[in-house]
Amino acid sequence: MKKSIVGFALTMVLVAVGAAQVQSSAEDPAGENAKGIVNQPASFPPPGEATRYVLPYYTSQTLLSGDRSVAVVNVYNQAKVSCNLTVEFQYATGITDVCSITLAIPGKESALFCSRPVADPLAPCSISCPAPGLTFNTGHAYVDSTYTIPTCANIAVDAQEVFTRDPADSPIESMSRLSIVKPNQPSIGD
């Protein structure tokens, strides 16, 4: 009886491993994990996209009197083809997107992704979280791009936090560069 229980347990482990392998290949049809692109567990990019960068901190505020901010993420598509790019904003330490915005960026062009709508000249946002945007949020964000086209991994990202005082978001009080880190890599102290 002891042998049959051990045999049954071993069979169950092998079935579970086999099922995990099938699920893993279904979730990663392009074999991106084999190419060194590993999604953060808390990042849920749209189908056909992979997480390329993490912003460990952002804030987007309008509700506190005299305290206003917006996160502006500039993404440059270095590929020669159009690629879908997504910025996923997540609240605090959570793993749920509070805003996920996607835009197709033509090759050799850039776009500004904003945590809330703001006017030019503060930031001529190409896309922003739907109005009123993120108005009382602090958290982290992910930048994703198409993985079905290998050259779409070739993106450049810059991110700024912009602080203002009045409801017109003018004038700019200060700006701060946000850290940008590759998934599953340590920050280099930037």
pLDDT tens for each residue of 18-36: 333 333 333 443 444 434 4
Position 173 confidence tier, pLDDT thresholds 50, 70, 90: very high
Share of residues in the chain with pLDDT > 70 (%): 77
Distance CA 133, CA 124 (A): 15
Mean pLDDT of 156-178: 93
| pLDDT computed for residue 121 by the predictor | 84
pLDDT confidence of residue 42: 67
Confidence class for position 66, pLDDT limits 50, 70, 90: confident
Mean pLDDT over the full length of the chain: 82
pTM of the model: 0.78
CA–CA separation, 47 and 29 (whole Å)? 11
Query: What confidence score (pLDDT) does residue 116 get?
Result: 97
Tokens of 10: 């071993």
* Percent with pLDDT over 90 in the chain: 65
The pLDDT, as a whole number, for residue 44 is 86
Summarize pLDDT for 112-157 with one digit per residue, the tens.
999 999 988 899 999 999 999 999 999 999 999 999 999 999 999 9
* pLDDT for 58: 98
Residue 190's pLDDT band, with cuts at 50, 70 and 90, is: low
Cross-strand partners of 145: 50, 85
Q: What is the DSSP letter of 16?
A: H
What are the residue ranges spanned by the domains of the chain? 1-30, 37-177
